[in-house]
Structure 1
């Protein structure tokens, strides 16, 4: 026996070594190298580069393109989080109620989740370009007769609609699992006490959904702040750089414009931003979880 005579603690430590090595190699080391390269002017290809300290971080604070991408990303994330989670929760409540063919409807609503975002983006791109404008012209609706992605003011809404359609299914399933944990006796007691459906939802159901809401919020916020594939498939950052998300801008700076160190500094900003938002969110929502004071 290879572990004969060893203490349990030593055995447990040895069993964690492979996972620890993989974690260091594929997470800690890349993050450390990313932080280092963000302090240089490396272009991503050259063998020579200079250490420039915090210059990239300081320059970013005055970069109008970076600040615009942050603004776009925040607005996009806010719209996606509200619409995606709102739709997911509404459908979860509907699909856990007394509805016929619930299994069929759950399968239908989950279908978008099995499609890749690139595929969905290309499909909606053609819908906005080739399908909706002729319908708008035939109905005499001027706002529908134009490609929504062709205007700087409306392109964001086309991207949001596409992402919400593809992304609400997974949060919906998580909410459905959470609704199964709500004690029936509490709901029945609230009903006997004369509570309305809205009152029962906020006083009984919602506190038990806080852990699921936490998970869905983290996933939705992270997906919104790092959106990339939808932008590539639908607008490529246009028109006139109006839909450049921060994730897309990092890609452009790092690989297309030969500013790897600069793009890495942007990525570090995004990492810190997501960490801060997630921390505040968990601290706030955990207080409202059922059983917490």
Structure 2
């Protein structure tokens, strides 16, 4: 008897013609039945032709504009009817048995809403075995295996669809970065666990975005602050917002400032402006998240921060 189809693998792409084929080939080789749904963020390269001609015949949701990784995931969620939903970067190629390992992990842990993958770089070194929560509220990749992690890496993860919907879905306005850690925060506040795993995915990392670029740092800095304002204890969120603002003010008079985009006053002022403009919506989201929570924000912070 054939296994039932229980997972929808959502692949978000933008100008992915150079690497998307490897992702689709690897999905086609999985030994568990699944639905592949590719969200095309208005690519203007050969992505549409590649998708139309791929032997696996993936379903395609083509958007009229580039909504980023978070926006693409949010657009896909209403189209998913399977019990599990996988998020997968278009520059990621799962190894054989990847989906089976993740499904089995959730089957054996009914109190877990998500199981992350082990992402490895092309040279074989480990990029991520999950995400830890630093003492200042950053989400940082961990590289050591662990049975449970604070958050999954959004580049390759399997989630319970119902749990994702119940905790508020995907923060589409983040565009990209921190949508995974924000989602893990909300899952944990509603009582769910997040598992680690050794299911491997080969990841090019940064094929669609350029790590270290001004846009990368803008999204990272802005979304970290928004995540904390939405999910973290109020004292932590306000402390980190004040620290970010203070560093911004002092940068012009400081010596030995790192030569990185996130230490440029102009970029940081833009981040602060975006956070302030979004404060009304962010505070409304905070109230909704608090209304759904079954575990205190402080309890989650004390258990996982600095780990």
Q: Is this a same-fold pair by TM over 0.5?
A: no
- TM-score under structure 1 length normalisation: 0.21
* Higher share of residues assigned helix: 1
- Structure number, greater radius of gyration: 1
Relative contact order, CA 8 A, sep 6+: which one is greater? 1
* Higher share of residues assigned strand: 2
- TM-score under structure 2 length normalisation: 0.20
